Structure 1
C-alpha cells in the first residue's frame, strides 16, 4: 500500500516540517556550511593518506552528500576508505578549527576568471593542506554532523547527517538519478568541459559557439530518445512531466510535443495547476499562508475522473485557474484523445503515485526533469544544482514577473521546502529522466543575474552566487537558439508561454 514519506519525523533534516521560508533558508545554509567543512576535511585527508599521489574529485551532489572518485578512476578498497575516515577523525580531534586567511594573487591565478584582482575569496587551511573557499564554511569542527564514507559505483560517497541532531539516515539509493548524472558526465567529455577553468578557456578561444551548438544538440537528441520511448509504449496515452522549480519544464514539454509529431503523434498539454481547488477551500498553514505546492490543493476527484474519461475515448471540458481571483474555471472547449493523440500533464505532482493510483501503468509514461549541472569550479568544489536553478529563477522572476533578486532569494526557502516534500521523494518513480542543464548557461545567465544580485542585501546565498559568477566569462546571448530551454529564462524564445 502506498504511504506518504514521513516528512515531519525529520527524514530530510531537523525541523524540516517548519514551512517558513526564512527558517528553511537558514537551515539549508547551515547544512551547506557543515557539508562544505566535511568536503574540505575529506580533501585534506586524501592528500595526507596518499601523500599527494592521488587527485580527489568531488564530482557532484548525490542523495545526502557528494559522489567522489579519484581522477584516474582507480578503485578504493574498504581499508583505504577506513584510512581516509580515520585521518578525518584525527584532524577533527587534533585541530578543532579550520583556519581562514586572505587570498593572494598566486592562490587564484589558476582559475583564469575575469574578476579576481578585486574579488578574491579567502583560503582555508588545516595542517599543511589549503584550498580556496568559494562559500561560507563551518570552521568549528566540533559542530560537524555525523558522516560516513561509503563505496558506490566507480567511487564513493561522503554522506552527512541530516536526521535528528545531525544523525545519519539509512542510505537510500537513487539509481536512475545517478545514471542521469553519469550520462551528463559523458556529455562533458564530448564537450571537453568539466570545470570553470575549461569553460573559460573555450570562451576565450572563441570555441564557445561549437560548445553551445553541441550542448543544444545533445539536448535535442535526448528529447528525441524520450519521444521514441513513449511511442514504443504504444498503450500510453498520458504523459506526466514533473520537476523542481526552474528546470525548464514548459520548454521541454513543447519540444517533446514537437518530437512526438515527428513520430506521427499529436500531443496536447494541460497544466495540473488548472485543477487547483478554489482558494477559499484550501487549508492554510499555521502561519496563515497557503501552500500551493501541496497535493491537497488539487481537485484530485475531478482530475482522476477526467483522466479515466479521456482513456475511454470520451470528451472532457478544459479548465483554467484564475490565480488573481483564486477560482477554478471550467471552459466551454472540450478535448478528447484520438488514436494517435497524447495528453501531456505538466506539474510538480506528476510523479506522485496518488495521481495515477487509479490507472493501469500501461496507460501512462512519466518523465522527471531537473537541471543537474555537472560543472565544477575546481576538483573539490562542484557547482550546486540548486544554485544553478536559483540563478535561472532570479533572471526569470526579474524579467517576466517583476520580482527583485531579494524577493526571489527570500522565497527560495519555501520553494525548496516544496521540492523536498513534493518532488524529490518521487523522482525514481519516473520512466525516464531529462537533465536540462546546459554546460554553458552560467556564462549567459551572468549578464542578467550579476547586476540583480549586486542590488540584493548581503546574505550567504547571495554572496556565494556572486563569487561563482565572478569566476566565469560571459557569452553573447545572440548565439543561444530560440528553442533553447535557456530562452525560457532569458527571453526571446520561439515558443509562446
Structure 2
C-alpha cells in the first residue's frame, strides 16, 4: 500500500515501500539539502535515518536555525566523548559553557595539549570517513547496565529515576551514549568544530548560526571561568552536579534543605558584593546588567537590602520602564520587534533622568505597561544625599546609558544564571534554556503571553543577548551567578502545562517538544518552601519585592 510524504517548503512524494528520511531528502526538491542535519517527522524530532512507513509530514532541520545548531552541537559532543573513550580511554564531563563553547574535563586526569590534538585528529577522521551514528532502542534494564559498564553512573541513576522504558541510545564506533534529543545520523554532517585546550580540560566550539561553515570564535574570560568553576565545585560537593543527585535528594525528603542551602549561597555572594561597594565610598551609581530572565530585578532589590544592612541607602531605576512605545520598537532581521536592542529604550530620557537624579533633582519616572505596549505615568523620584542610584536592565553595562557619569563613580555587576545542575555529564541544562524556562513562566504570569508567542520571540532574544549584552560582561566589577540547583525542578511544575499548549502545527512545536523531553528527566519540587525573597519568585510569583 502506497503512502504520501509531504515535505515542508518542497514537494510531496509517494512511496509503496519503507524509505528513510534521508532517502526522501535525496528524492525531494528541498532547497537547502546541504544544510540538513535532522528532521521532524509528524512534528517529532528524528534523525535522518528514521524510517517512513505511513503518511508523513517532514520538516527538515537545517543549520541556519537554533534547533539545527542544537542537533549539531549534540552530535559533536558524542563524537568528542566517543573519541575520548576510544583514543584516550577516559571519560569526559561537560561542566560549563562560554558563548557557545563547551568545556569538558576528565574525572580521571588532566587533559594535555597532546590529548587535545589526538582527539581533534580522531574526530576529523570520523568526519572524513563518514562514520554512521545509529539510533538503537533497549529495555531500561539493559540500557542501565550498558551505561554502568561505561562508567557513567550518573546516566545509569538518571535512567532509573526517570523510569523511561524502553531507552533510546546512540552508537558510534562501538561506543554507546544517551542524549535528550536527536543526533545527526552521520559524522560527515558535522565537519565544523575546533578544540581548545584550557586549564586541564578543553573547550569545543561548533559552527555559528550565521555561517555554519565558520567555527564560533573562542573567547577566553578568566574571571568568568573561575567563577563558574567555583560554582561547579560547590555543586559537586553537594552531590547535585546532575539531575540524578537532585532526584536522590527529593526521594530522601531533602528538598527543603537544598532550597535553603542554595538561597544561603546567594545571600553570601550578594553580601560579598555589598562589602566591595562599601569599600568604595566614591561610588554613586550601581549598574546591574544581564540577559533576559537573569533575575536582575530581584538581585537589585536583594543587593539594596544587603547595602542597607551596612548603612548604605539606595534607590532603583528599572530600565524596563524606559521602553519606547511598541510601534517605535526597532525590528530584528526577521522583521519582529527587537526588544533586546539598545534602541528599544528611550536613551535620551534615560541619560537625562540619571544625570538629574545624581544631581539631586526630582524626576517623573515612567511605567511601561507590557500588556498595552505603552509607557504610562509612573512615580516621582529623588535621591537623598549620599543615596546610591541603582539601574538594572539588559543594557545596564552599556556606557551609552551612563556616559555622563565618571567611571570611578560606577560599580558594574553582570547578572546571569551561568551554570547549574546538568541533566547528566553529557546533557547540559544550559544558561539559555534556564533563562527560556524562566521567561516562559514569567511571560504567561505577568505579560499575558502564550508559550507559543514566547518561543517564537526567543531566537531574537538570544541573538540580541550576543549582540548587546555578553560583549560587556568582562567589563563588570563583579559577576553574580543567579543559577539555583533546585530551580528547574520547581519551574517544571509551571512550565510543562504551558509547553503542552503549543499546537502541533506551530513552527515552534518542535522546540516545545525538545524542552518537554529534557524536563522529563528532571524531578519535581513543589514551590511551597521557596522563600519570598528568592530570585525564582520573580518568575513564579509571590515575591516580597513585587
Does TM-score exceed 0.5, indicating one fold?
Answer: yes
Superposition pairs of residues 158-307 of structure 1, within 5 angstroms? 158-162=204-208, 164-279=211-326, 282=329, 289-307=336-354
Q: Does 1:127 align with 2:173?
A: yes
The separation in 2 between residues aligned to 1:127 and 1:297, in whole angstroms, is 50
* Corresponding residue number in structure 1 for 2:534: 484
Q: Does 1:438 align with 2:488?
A: no
> Which runs of 4 or more aligned residues in structure 1 lie more than 6 Å from their structure 2 counterparts after TM superposition?
23-26
Q: Helix, strand or coil: the match of 1:381? A: coil
Pair 1:168–1:133, CA change in 2 (3 A): same
Q: Does 1:318 align with 2:368?
A: no
1:346-372 Cα deviation digits (max 9, x unpaired): 111111122233321111111111112
* Corresponding residue number in structure 2 for 1:7: none
- Is contact 1:101-1:122 (8 Å) kept? yes
* Corresponding residue number in structure 2 for 1:35: 73
Q: Helix, strand or coil: the match of 1:168? A: coil
Superposition pairs of residues 421-436 of structure 1, within 5 angstroms? 421-436=467-482
1:80 to 110, 115, 126: 115
Per-residue deviation, 1:34: 0.8
Task: For structure 1, list consecutive stretches of 5 or more residues without a partner in the other structure.
Answer: 1-13, 15-22
Q: Does 1:138 align with 2:184?
A: yes
* Corresponding residue number in structure 1 for 2:98: 62
- Is contact 1:114-1:473 (8 Å) kept? no
* Corresponding residue number in structure 1 for 2:153: none
Q: Helix, strand or coil: the match of 2:399? A: coil
- Is contact 2:412-2:476 (8 Å) kept? yes
- Is contact 2:161-2:247 (8 Å) kept? no
Per-residue deviation, 1:168: 2.2
* Corresponding residue number in structure 2 for 1:372: 418
Per-residue deviation, 1:385: 1.6
Per-residue deviation, 1:328: 4.6
1:95-149 Cα deviation digits (max 9, x unpaired): 4331112242131572346774456552111111010121122223222142121
Q: Helix, strand or coil: the match of 2:194? A: strand
The separation in 2 between residues aligned to 1:481 and 1:415, in whole angstroms, is 29
Q: Helix, strand or coil: the match of 2:215? A: coil
1:431-466 Cα deviation digits (max 9, x unpaired): 111111110112211222222223324544222221
Task: For structure 2, list consecutive stretches of 5 or more residues without a partner in the other structure.
Answer: 1-34, 36-60, 146-155
Pair 1:136–1:457, CA change in 2 (3 A): farther
Greater shift, 159-168 or 324-333, is seen at: 324-333
* Corresponding residue number in structure 2 for 1:104: 139
* Corresponding residue number in structure 2 for 1:362: 408
Pair 1:409–1:98, CA change in 2 (3 A): same
Number of residues of Structure 1 aligned to a counterpart in Structure 2: 471
* Corresponding residue number in structure 2 for 1:6: none
Per-residue deviation, 1:46: 0.3
- Is contact 1:191-1:214 (8 Å) kept? no
The separation in 1 between residues aligned to 2:333 and 2:421, in whole angstroms, is 40
Superposition pairs of residues 464-479 of structure 1, within 5 angstroms? 464-479=514-529
Superposition pairs of residues 343-422 of structure 1, within 5 angstroms? 343-422=389-468
Q: Helix, strand or coil: the match of 1:319? A: strand
- So what's the TM-score if we normalise by structure 1? 0.87
* Corresponding residue number in structure 2 for 1:18: none
Q: Helix, strand or coil: the match of 2:401? A: coil
Pair 1:478–1:114, CA change in 2 (3 A): farther
Per-residue deviation, 1:165: 4.0
- Is contact 1:121-1:134 (8 Å) kept? no
- Is contact 2:74-2:183 (8 Å) kept? yes
* Corresponding residue number in structure 2 for 1:93: 128
- Is contact 1:251-1:488 (8 Å) kept? yes
- Is contact 2:129-2:188 (8 Å) kept? no
Per-residue deviation, 1:256: 0.9
CA RMSD of aligned residues (A): 2.6
Per-residue deviation, 1:187: 2.2
The separation in 2 between residues aligned to 1:67 and 1:280, in whole angstroms, is 42
Per-residue deviation, 1:417: 2.3
- Is contact 1:246-1:389 (8 Å) kept? yes
Q: Does 1:463 align with 2:513?
A: yes
Pair 1:486–1:273, CA change in 2 (3 A): closer
Pair 1:286–1:375, CA change in 2 (3 A): closer
Per-residue deviation, 1:278: 4.7
The separation in 1 between residues aligned to 2:522 and 2:457, in whole angstroms, is 26
Pair 1:288–1:45, CA change in 2 (3 A): closer
